[in-house]
Structure 1
């Protein structure tokens, strides 16, 4: 499958006219990962090979995307060394809502309720519209997640690809963008939560349940699977926030 096709099933915008290259799309995804807190300044990125497998594109595309970010001073690329995040000032790249920081103004409870509602409707549509190519890509992403079971950052990159692919499968651009924005809330805390022992394994198990429901075209089971998964995310994020608040007051 071509880079363009893989980006399409992993959540490229629906029904939108764009003249950006694939490497531009991937650069934007990296920028979103940085501004949402999955990748922090000083972090070393996974290898080009691992990034290519996780994001479903060629190593050449990854190299081109990193070059774009490097010219903007967002990442530091040194020959013979791993690429590092150099700045979180991503300029005009990344999700607009995250750049404006509006999503960070919402309460955790509000985002939780909003995500449950959005994903419930995503489930209704995705169960009807998901195609075999998408199911194959989701299977691949679970394999990538298994390979990243001891690497929270790489796992979260694959996790985002998994969720945005499902959102895209619903076939509604507005709903897909809304669900993606809500997913991106508090990812910096999500990174801490997913590093807890057993957290990645549990998340992968949830993903298998979600994929099984998609394969069956069962909207009710899909909504339940997404809901259980979101509840775990909410509970673990709330625990991290509570611990952060406790430490700040000690």
Structure 2
């Protein structure tokens, strides 16, 4: 395992990326022990504080296990840790908002189609409850962003595809962090809450009627409109 000196402003992020590259390339395997903080800092020519911060970040992502008195080890990677890593990467890429919106549009259009094919009565009830919450927020002149997120995630759950559900969860978490202010402005626009509610109602109806093409078309139209609103 070759460790080269790092020269960058965001030292711990570079350390995180370097270790992740070793894991994905297979140079580091689950169960392998990493060098100590002191050794790692000397070989990378960075501070021990930066190494410690990187280790903590990777532990939060589920990629490392820090055992007190024993050392730091590579954990077995599972779908949860991969999705957590995706959330981390998306969150750090603060200038990629438009790309994030594009990914969401591409993904959710197919999600809507699959939901129309696979949704069971319980799934439909969950989607409908989120829609009802949106309507109640609309009547009380409240921002309906939480019900909005619940609606879209309920559709993802209706696909019964675990990877899609994890992807949607990662995207939803990142959207909430990076677009919080923009989402508030979106819902405060004139007639926008009512328009968004009607668009969601049309999507739900297409899913309930088991019409995949219609569901995907309505989802695309909705997300394209949202994307255009962010660009104003």
State the TM-score, normalizing by the size of structure 1.
Answer: 0.52
Q: Which residue of 110, 118, 121 corresponds with 1:132? A: 121
1:145 corresponding residue in structure 2: 134
Q: Does the aligned pair in 2 maintain the 1:141–1:161 contact within 8 Å?
A: yes
Which runs of 5 or more residues in structure 1 are unaligned? 1-91, 240-250
Q: Which residue of 176, 180, 192 corresponds with 2:165? A: 176
- Tell me the distance in 1 between the aligned counterparts of 2:148 and 2:168: 14
Q: 1:213 to 1:104 in 2, by over 3 A?
A: farther
- Tell me the distance in 2 between the aligned counterparts of 1:214 and 1:100: 32
- Tell me the distance in 1 between the aligned counterparts of 2:87 and 2:170: 11
Instruction: Return 208-217 or 189-198, whichever deviates more.
Output: 189-198
Q: Which residue of 187, 210, 214 corresponds with 2:203? A: 210
Runs of 4 or more consecutive aligned structure 1 residues displaced over 6 Å after TM superposition: none
1:100 corresponding residue in structure 2: 88
Which runs of 5 or more residues in structure 2 are unaligned? 1-59, 62-82
- Tell me the distance in 1 between the aligned counterparts of 2:167 and 2:120: 22
Alignment: residue pair count = 146
Q: Cα offset for 1:180?
A: 3.2
Cα distance per residue 1:79-107 (max 9 Å; x no partner): xxxxxxxxxxxxx69x8358736345152
State the TM-score, normalizing by the size of structure 2.
Answer: 0.56
Q: Which residue of 209, 212, 224 corresponds with 1:231? A: 224
- Tell me the distance in 2 between the aligned counterparts of 1:191 and 1:181: 20
- Tell me the distance in 2 between the aligned counterparts of 1:219 and 1:122: 9
The answer to whether structure 1 residue 156 and structure 2 residue 145 are counterparts is: yes
- Tell me the distance in 1 between the aligned counterparts of 2:230 and 2:89: 18
Q: 1:136 to 1:102 in 2, by over 3 A?
A: closer
Q: Cα offset for 1:125?
A: 1.9
